[in-house]
Structure 1
Amino acid sequence: MNKVIKTTDAPAPIGPYNQAVQAGNTIYISGQIPLHPFTGELVTDNITSATHLVMENIGAILAAAKAGFGDIVKSTIFLTNMADFTEVNEVYGSYFEDNFPARETVQVAALPKGVSVEISVIAVKS
C-alpha cells in the first residue's frame, strides 16, 4: 500500500500531486522548486540561493519520511539555463557525504512559476 508523505516544512503542492509517495521502502519525491514553505515566496535572486532552498525542501520531505540525503538513489535536475550547471552542481553536491545518487541534468524551456531550477528525487530507506 502506498503512503502519502506530507510536511508543512516544505511547500504545499501547487497542483494535483503529493509532496512524496512511499511505496514499500521507496520514496518518490515530486519536483521541488525554490518556494519558501512558510512565506510562499519564490527565491529567484540567484541560482545558488534557489538551489539551496530546493535542497532544503527535499530534506524536509525526506525527514518527514524518516529518511535522509544518503537514502537518495536517483535524482533529476531541471534547469532553464545550462549555464547554471556549475553553481547548481556545487550546491547539490554539498548535501551528500559520498555515494552520490545516479542523476541526470536537463535543460528545459520553462519551469513552474518561472523558476530556473527544479529537482526531483527517488530514495530507498534501508
Structure 2
Amino acid sequence: MSSQAKKFGFGMPWESLYGYSQAIQVGETVYVSGQLSHDRLGNFIGTGDFELQFQTALENLDLVLDQFGAERGQVVETTVLVRNLRENFESAARLHAEYFGKHRPASTIMGISDLALPDQLVEIAALVRLDVES
C-alpha cells in the first residue's frame, strides 16, 4: 500500500530556488523544514534580535502545523540551529520550553557558523505525528 504525499509551501521565492516544501506529510508523519523569521511577503524579521527571530520562527511553525490540522502537542521532535549558541542558549531554551508548555518533544539544538540568510540567527525544524493525541 502506498501513501500520497501532501506538500505545503508559503510561496516564498527561496522554495522554488532551493527546490523544497515547507512541509510534507507522508502517512501520519509531517516533516517540517527549518522555519525562520519572515513575514507572509518573505521579508526577514528581527535583524540582530535573537528572541524575535526565535518567536517568529515558532509562529511560522504554527502556520505550518495549521495546514495539516496539527497541534503543538503532536510535535515529537525539533531540531534547532543557532548561530552563536553560547550567547543564545538560555534564550533558546526558555523560548522552546515556553512554546511547548508541559509537552516535551525530543529535541536537538546545534550551534552552527552560518545559516541561509545573512542576518539569520535561528532555524527550527520539526517532526510531527498526526496520530498522537495532544
TM, length-normalised to structure 2 = 0.85
- CA 97–43 in structure 1, closer or farther in 2 if over 3 Å, else same: same
Based on CA coordinates, which of the two structures has the bigger radius of gyration? 2
Which residue of structure 2 aligns with residue 47 of structure 1?
50
Q: Which residue of 2 aligns with 1:32?
A: 35
Moved more, 95-104 or 62-71: 95-104
Aligned-residue Cα RMSD (Å) equals 1.5
2:59 corresponds to which residue? 56
Provide TM-score, normalisation by structure 1. Answer: 0.90
Judge which range, 39-48 or 105-114, deviates more. Answer: 39-48
Per the TM alignment, residue 99 of structure 1 is displaced from its structure 2 partner at its CA by 2.7
Unaligned runs of 5+ in 2: none
- Listed as ranges, the gaps of 5+ residues in structure 1 are none
Query: Within 5 A, what are the aligned runs for 1:47-86?
Result: 47-82=50-85, 83-86=87-90
Shift of 1:65: 0.7
Instruction: Name the counterpart of 2:8.
Output: 5
1:5–1:18: 8 Å Cα contact kept in structure 2? yes
The 8 Å contact of residues 22 and 64 in structure 2, kept in 1 or not, is answered as: yes
SS at match of 1:112: coil
**CA spacing shift, 1:62–1:23, aligned 2, 3 Å:** same
